[in-house]
Structure 1
Amino acid sequence: MDRIQRYRIGDATVTRVTELILPEVSSAFLFPDRDRTILTHDRPRWIGPENVSADGETLALSVHSWIVQTGRHTIVIDTGAGNGKRRPLNPIFDQLDTPYLERLAAIGIKPEQVDFVLVTHLHVDHVGWNTVRDGERWVPTFPNAQYVFSEAEYRFYAEEEHVQTPSAGVFEDSVQPIVDAGQALLIDAGHQQPLDGFTFHRTKGHSFDHLSISLTSNGERALFAGDVMHHPVQVAKPEWNSVFCEFQDDARASRLWALNFAADHGATFFSSHFPGTSAGTVGRADGGFVWFPR
């Protein structure tokens, strides 16, 4: 699908494993408050043609996981949409059949080698490969891993009335089976940091208790910020929420927090959906932020 994108953060290696490329997402749909000029003639130089069409009407997005190898642990951050999941209300992710596990194998990772799965939030395109089909059951894809996610988020989305239409069915086939298997580590990120070198930050907004995850290794930092941002245009326009941001004011505040964290700490920002290279650094200029792809 694309070349292997691999990065070093101190002593850790970070590799992207792509599930899907979505080449033509309506910008008007994804960003209801968009200003089309910044997608056309006022477009920053770092938002290239791989990110947006010339007329600004369509955007490209990626759905992928980040694999972190620390020398001690193998860690998967977010697990895409998954294969064979019934998503009749969300056709993009309905009954997928992608070679995700083959792509994982291509970088030398077998499911049984994964020690931790870190989940930023419980939306459809971040938990799908938590499980695979085994007969009539959904079982953990990574049989030896602890799956770490927010307890508050789990409790919230256990109530069906809180689940947005695009994520209908996710709890039943991709979240609860992990809990039932005894492989879930449900955390309160305000008080628990279960994995050395990683810090979980509460960044509510896109979802009820969305978590951003920072990594510190040998003096270098990274930030895996989930869906705090969907597209590099939001670096220039952090006030833009996606159509899927459930708590609008909190989403904007969390986005500013993530941009400031990355800029202040010189952290490599690993995005969940940026197309092209999905990693970069954040700088400041003219009272705003700029993006430097890696």
Structure 2
Amino acid sequence: MRLGDVEVVPVLEWEGDLGPARVVIPDSPAELWRENEDWLAPDYWTPATDGYHAVLRTWLLRSAGRVILVDTGVGNDRDRPQFPLFSGLHTDFLSRLAAAGVRPGDVDVVVNTHIHIDHVGWNTHLAGGEWVPTFPNATYLIPRVDQEYYAHEERGANIYADSIAPVLSQALLWEDAHRIDAGLTLEPAPGHTPGASLVRLASGADRAVFVGDLLHSPVQILRPRYSSCFDENPRQAAATRRRVLERAADERELVIPAHFAGHPAAEVSRAGAGFAISRWA
């Protein structure tokens, strides 16, 4: 996509079912999924198994002469006992990035919208038995609130040690808000994690918001009160989700989540107590 002067390229790391849909979105009623099966399946939901279908994706942005990555997936060679599906993952992500015309040394900015295993992994890679920054020339933009929260061993476990600590010498720990360039800004969007954030794009007549894990499934657009099982503060996440969707509907911002398979982004409109998808991108 091209939004104003910004080129937007999705770079896929992984695709598959993460688990039962109503474990991932635990309060969502079965009828909500069934009533929308004609468009939820098969891209977002596998009805036969109630599987929540998702992707791990990095957004590559070319903006103001710089190469920017929004989130960096799981990464290779990780020990993730808390999420066995992603333990020992080995993908050709860097080859896919190269196919989009980007080598690790070309990256100027890495945005971690939050510190979870599927958003910070390719921050680093193994070299000589040590975790080193994958993008040697990049500034890593990390929410200070999340960095301080996950620095505690009982919270961050090995994620902090292998994906955050090795890049801190290249990191800018931001808070409140941060302007990346004239068209891109970072804002807090707490709830999923304490320091969860989003990226707003405003270029020419185009508007978009990269919401990270504020949305895991399109059913959360229809009913934003339903939080995911991964949200650390579900009530706060639901309030943030509604606020962001209200603005997106009123200002015609394209909503771009991290994990939507199939159509990766949508325009939304208000619909009763929730929202509707008025157009897929």
Per the TM superposition, whether the score is higher than 0.5 is yes
Greater strand fraction, Structure 1 or Structure 2: 2
Q: 2:167 aligns with which of 170, 175, 178?
A: 178
Please give the residue correspondences for 1:184-263 in structure 2 after superposition, counting only pairs within 5 Å.
Answer: 184-190=171-177, 192-263=178-249
Please list the CA deviations of residues 28-82 of structure 1 after superposition, one character each: whole Å capped at 9, or x if unmatched: 2212212000111x22754343211235722211110000012511100000000
Q: Which residue matches 1:154? A: 147
CA RMSD of aligned residues (A): 1.6
Indicate if the aligned counterparts of 1:150 and 1:188 stay in contact, CA closer than 8 A: yes
d(CA) in 2 for partners of 1:89 and 1:52?
Answer: 23
1:177 corresponds to which letter in structure 2? P
Please list the CA deviations of residues 241-293 of structure 1 after superposition, one character each: whole Å capped at 9, or x if unmatched: 11110012110111112211211221111110111121121112234211222
- 2:23 aligned with 1:29: yes
Q: Which residue matches 2:72? A: 79
Please list the CA deviations of residues 157-190 of structure 1 after superposition, one character each: whole Å capped at 9, or x if unmatched: 1112334xxxx411000001001xx210110134
d(CA) in 1 for partners of 2:40 and 2:276?
Answer: 10
Q: Which residue matches 1:101? A: 94
Indicate if the aligned counterparts of 1:21 and 1:60 stay in contact, CA closer than 8 A: yes
- 2:118 aligned with 1:125: yes
Indicate if the aligned counterparts of 2:41 and 2:47 stay in contact, CA closer than 8 A: no
Structure 1 spans left out of the alignment, 5+ residues: 1-6
2:56 corresponds to which letter in structure 1? V
SS in 2 for 1:20: strand
Q: Which residue matches 1:3? A: none
Please give the residue correspondences for 1:282-293 in structure 2 after superposition, counting only pairs within 5 Å.
Answer: 282-291=268-277, 292-293=279-280
Number of corresponding residues: 280
SS in 2 for 1:193: strand
Going from structure 1 to structure 2, the CA distance change for 1:9 and 1:80 (only over 3 Å counts) comes to: same
1:84 corresponds to which letter in structure 2? D
d(CA) in 2 for partners of 1:193 and 1:69?
Answer: 15
d(CA) in 2 for partners of 1:194 and 1:185?
Answer: 11
Provide TM-score, normalisation by structure 1.
Answer: 0.91
Q: Which residue matches 1:268? A: 254
Structure 2 spans left out of the alignment, 5+ residues: none
d(CA) in 2 for partners of 1:283 and 1:135?
Answer: 51
SS in 2 for 1:169: helix
